[in-house]
Structure 1
C-alpha cells in the first residue's frame, strides 16, 4: 500500500492530482491519502481529510511507501518507520505554503538514504514507476536528535518571518 500525506495545515492539489492520475493507470495499487481540508474528490484514492494519530500510525504500518509533502512530520515518520519516502516540495511561488522552508528542509535532508525530494509531477511518476527499487529511509548514524530539533526550530522560525 502507498500512503499519501499532505499534512494538516494545507491541502496540496498539485501532489494529490498527480498521484490520482498515476493511480488511474495503476488500479492494482492501493493508495490511501490524507488529503487535508479540501472539497476536491480523488476517485482513485481512498481519501481521508484528516486522520487521528492512531489511524495515521496504522496506515504507516501497513504501507510500503510514503508519498507526501516535504514537511517535518512526514520526514520524521519515514525515518522512524524506515520506509522509502517520496517528498514533493511545496512551491512558495505557487502559493502552496506560507514560506519556502520546505526547500530548506529538502536541502538539509537531501543526502539521507530513502528520502526522495522532488519538485515536479514528472519526477513523481518516475519514482512511482520504480517504487520497488527505492531504498528504505534511515537516519544518519551521526545524527544527534537535539541538533536536528535545533535546526528544525531555526527553519520554522525563519519561515515565519
Structure 2
C-alpha cells in the first residue's frame, strides 16, 4: 500500500492531483491518501480528509511507501519506522505554504540520502520508480541516545560544555 499524506494545515491539491493521475496511469488500486480540507476529490485513489494520530502511525508503519509534503513530523516518523518516503515540498510561490521552508527541508534530507524528492509533479513518476523496492530500514531512533542526553544535562547544569 502507498500512503499519501498532506498534513493538516493547508490543502495540497497539486500533490493529490498528481498522485491521483499517476495511480490511474499505472493502474494502482493500493493508494490511500489523507487529503486534508479541500474541494478536490480524487477519482482513482481511496482517501479521507483527516486521520487521527494513532491511525496515522499505523498507516505509516503498514505502507510499502509514503508520499508526503515535507513536514518534519511525517519525515521523521517514516525514518523511524523505516518506511521509504517520497517528499514533495509545498511551494511558497504557489501559496501552498507561507515560504519555501519545505524546499529547504526536502533538499537537506535528500542530501543526507534519507528521502526521495519530487520538486514538482513531473518528477513524481521517476521518483516513485526510484522508491519502489527500497528496503525498510529504520534510520533514526525515537529516543535520544543516553550519550546525547548526558551531554545536554551537563550543558544545562553548567558542568560540561559541548565539544
Q: What TM-score do you get using the length of structure 1 for normalisation? A: 0.80
Structure 2 vs 1, CA of residues 77 and 24 (structure 1 numbering), >3 Å: closer, same or farther?
same
2-structure distance, mates of 1:69, 1:100: 12
1-structure distance, mates of 2:82, 2:112: 11
2-structure distance, mates of 1:140, 1:87: 17
Structure 2 vs 1, CA of residues 138 and 32 (structure 1 numbering), >3 Å: closer, same or farther?
same
Instruction: Report 1:1-150 matches (<5 A).
Output: 1-136=1-136, 138-139=138-139
Gaps of 5+ in 1: 147-161
Is the 8 Å Cα contact of residues 11 and 36 (structure 1) preserved in structure 2? yes
For the pair shown, which has the larger CA radius of gyration, 1 or 2? 2
Q: Higher relative CO (CA 8 A, sep ≥ 6), structure 1 or 2? A: 1
Structure 2 vs 1, CA of residues 109 and 18 (structure 1 numbering), >3 Å: closer, same or farther?
same
* Structure 1 residue 8, shift from structure 2 partner: 0.8
The number of residue pairs the alignment matches comes to 146
TM superposition outliers: structure 1 runs of 4+ over 4 Å:
135-138
Gaps of 5+ in 2: 149-163
3-state DSSP of counterpart to 1:110:
helix
| Aligned match of 1:159 | none
Deviations 1:85-132 (A, max 9, x none): 100011111111011111221233223334112211121111223432
2-structure distance, mates of 1:23, 1:49: 18
3-state DSSP of counterpart to 2:4:
strand
Q: What TM-score do you get using the length of structure 2 for normalisation? A: 0.79
2-structure distance, mates of 1:3, 1:130: 16
Greater Cα shift, 126-135 or 115-124 = 126-135
